Structure 1
Amino acid sequence: MSADVLSVIPTDPYWQPLRAAADHAAATVADMVPGLPGTEVEIDVTWHAQLTAVDCGENLETRIGCPLCGSSIDTEWWGDLLEAHCEDGFPNLAVQAPCCGVETSLDLLDYDWPCGFARFEIAIWDPERIWFSAEELAAIATALGHPVRQIRAHI
């Protein structure tokens, strides 16, 4: 069975909030995604020990672009990289671009659907909405105490 997950992560992949700020942000998110009548939306708040990929799943359809040479990067390369780090996370985001061989950072690649990396994540399962608005993201950021971005996955 497939699912949609709307995740909110800090803009700084290494940043983690204190528990009180995370709880406040999760409560803010819960107010924004009440779910269907008679149902409750599942919200997971996670502190990751290592940098973890927060990818868009099957939404990544066509392209990852290299920020250095502009070439397309094979999505199979991306899938292999995720698989290699699915259990233990990423020690850092440094990577050699497979297209031009230049060192870059995984969070600088141009994903055709947003992808990111984080040590903290608020994930909303089947949120019954596509995206948060800019105003809603600002409210979540205020509650969390750090700027945030969103990733929508179809898994």
Structure 2
Amino acid sequence: MSDNILSIIPADPDWQPMAEAADAAMAVLRRLVPQFDGFVTTEYRITWHEKVTVIDCGANLERIECPACQNAIGVEWWSDLLEDCVETGFANLAVTVPCCAADVSLNDLHYDWPCGFARFELEAWNPNRDWLPADELAQLAAALGCDVRQVLAHI
């Protein structure tokens, strides 16, 4: 069986909230993503990662684009890079991209579907909805006290 996971992460990969802010943001997420729609029960999780961790979109990833030259970057290059760092974490997100040799952050690559890197994550497993619009992301950002990104994974 496959799962969909809606993750809310800080825009700054190293940032972590205080427990009170995390709980407040989870309360907002629970309100925005109802737990039961008559068929599927959504499960919620809060995770503090010890190290910066990739929060990817799983099978939803279709394309990666360089922010410097706007050319496509092979998903294989990215996957190989992730394999090298999955156990050690991402102490440094700086990379030299293969398309134009620019030095960029992995967090700034343009992912289709969105991906990110974080030390903190709010998750709704099998949410009964799709993407959160800007006004709902703003509610989560206000509760956490930082700008946020969303990642919708299919695993």
**Aligned partner letter, 1:68:** A
| Structure 1 position 70, deviation (Å) | 2.4
Instruction: Write the distance in 2 (CA, Å) between the matches of 1:2 and 1:118.
Output: 23
Partner-residue secondary structure (3-state), 1:14: coil
The aligned residue for residue 23 of structure 2 is 23
| Structure 1 position 101, deviation (Å) | 2.1
Instruction: Write the distance in 2 (CA, Å) between the matches of 1:59 and 1:51.
Output: 21
Residue 44 in structure 1 maps to residue 70 in structure 2: no
The aligned residue for residue 104 of structure 1 is 104
Instruction: Write the distance in 2 (CA, Å) between the matches of 1:2 and 1:77.
Output: 25
Identity of matched residues, %: 55
Give TM-score scaled by structure 1 length. 0.93
Partner-residue secondary structure (3-state), 1:149: strand
Instruction: Write the distance in 1 (CA, Å) between the matches of 2:6 and 2:139.
Output: 16
Instruction: Write the distance in 2 (CA, Å) between the matches of 1:82 and 1:39.
Output: 31
Residue 113 in structure 1 maps to residue 117 in structure 2: no
Instruction: Write the distance in 2 (CA, Å) between the matches of 1:113 and 1:119.
Output: 20
How many matched pairs?
154
| Structure 1 position 38, deviation (Å) | 7.4
The aligned residue for residue 143 of structure 1 is 143
Pick closer, same or farther for the CA change 1:111–1:38 going to 2, 3 Å.
closer
The aligned residue for residue 54 of structure 1 is 55
Partner-residue secondary structure (3-state), 1:37: coil
Instruction: Write the distance in 1 (CA, Å) between the matches of 2:131 and 2:4.
Output: 11
Instruction: Write the distance in 2 (CA, Å) between the matches of 1:108 and 1:57.
Output: 18
Stretch deviating more after TM superposition (31-40 or 82-91): 31-40
The aligned residue for residue 131 of structure 2 is 131
- Structure 1 runs, 4 residues or longer, greater than 4 Å off: none
The aligned residue for residue 76 of structure 2 is 76
Instruction: Write the distance in 1 (CA, Å) between the matches of 2:64 and 2:87.
Output: 23
For structure 1, the residue ranges without an aligned partner over 5 or more in a row are none
For structure 2, the residue ranges without an aligned partner over 5 or more in a row are none
Does the 8 Å contact 2:41/2:126 carry over to 1?
no
Does the 8 Å contact 2:40/2:128 carry over to 1?
no
**Aligned partner letter, 2:43:** E
| Structure 1 position 85, deviation (Å) | 2.0
Give TM-score scaled by structure 2 length. 0.93
Instruction: Write the distance in 2 (CA, Å) between the matches of 1:107 and 1:147.
Output: 14
| Structure 1 position 39, deviation (Å) | 5.6
